[in-house]
Amino acid sequence: MTEHAVNPDEPLKENTQWMLRLFVYGTLKRGFWNHDRFCRGVLDIREAVVRGRLYEMHSGIPVLQVPDGDVLAHGTSDALADVATQARFSEQPAPYPEPAQQSATAGDWGRVYGELLTFNDPESRLPAIDRLEGFRPGGSSLYRRVLVPVCIEHGMALPSWLYVGVNSVLNRASLTGRSIWSPKTQ
């Protein structure tokens, strides 16, 4: 199956109960080095936005921070349980939480733009991406996987998983002040 963007006004035609939604903002986006390896076979890709702050490690890798109040659930090592959690929150639609201000300076929450990917193979897909992101439930991790409202269009929010930096990583990263990540040019 090839990746494609569908008409946002049309729902996916497959049963979405066991579909994994993952918001990506860095190297897993189309055109970046981890996309082909980890995201090949994606069912749907949509432009999307979350409320947060974008940081960058000295190595150039992006790190996202979202408001604690936006976190609906924390990821586990059980992919199907996490997809079921996503489905439960999807039954209770919520409006997208607007940023208080557009800037991403300390204390303010801005918009971070990325892509919302939809997969139909969470049991194989999620553990591989968790390893890439250094997410180890119950262990020392570089990132946490959390469920947050992700806006795809006209204020419509879908509960979706994404990776955020843990405090020790955020403390070593620099706030970019940007809303879209792109790698540093050499």
Which pLDDT value is given to residue 54?
95
pTM of structure: 0.83
Q: Which residue type occupies 40?
A: R
Helix (H) or strand (E) holding 83: helix 79-90
Q: pLDDT digit string (tens) for 36-68? A: 888 888 899 999 999 999 999 998 899 999 999
More confident residue, 40 or 183: 40
DSSP class per residue in 2-71: ---PPPTTS--SS--TT-EEEEE-STTSTTSTTHHHHHTT-SEEEEEEEEEEEEE-TTS-EEEE--GGG-
Angle, vertex CA 137, rays to CA 40 and CA 112, nearest 5: 55
Is domain 20-175 classified as CATH 3.10.490.10? yes
The pLDDT mean for the chain works out to 83
Q: pLDDT digit string (tens) for 108-123? A: 899 999 999 999 999 9
- What are the boundaries of each domain within the chain? 20-175
Report residue 31's pLDDT band, with 50, 70 and 90 as the boundaries. confident
